[in-house]
Amino acid sequence: AGSVRSIELHQDLTARARENVRASGIGGITLETLDAMTLEERDRYDAIAVTGSLPLYDSRFERALKIGGRLFLVLGQAPVMEALLIRRVSETEWVREPLFETVIAPLQNAPHPSPFAF
Q: Torsions phi, psi of 51, nearest 5?
A: -95, 5
Residue 77 and residue 42: Cα distance in Å, rounded?
27
pLDDT in tens, 32-44: 999 999 989 999 9
Residues linked to residue 76 through DSSP beta bridges, in sequence order: 81
Residue 105 contacts residue 53 (beta carbons within 8 Å) = yes
Q: Which residues of 36-46 are buried (b: 16+ CB within 10 A; e: fewer)?
A: bbebeeeeebe
Per-residue pLDDT, 2: 82
Q: Is the pLDDT of residue 117 over 80?
A: no
Q: How far apart are CA 88 and CA 48, in angstroms?
A: 11
Instruction: Read off the pTM.
Output: 0.87
pLDDT digits (tens, 9 = 90+) for 50-74: 999 999 999 999 999 999 999 999 9
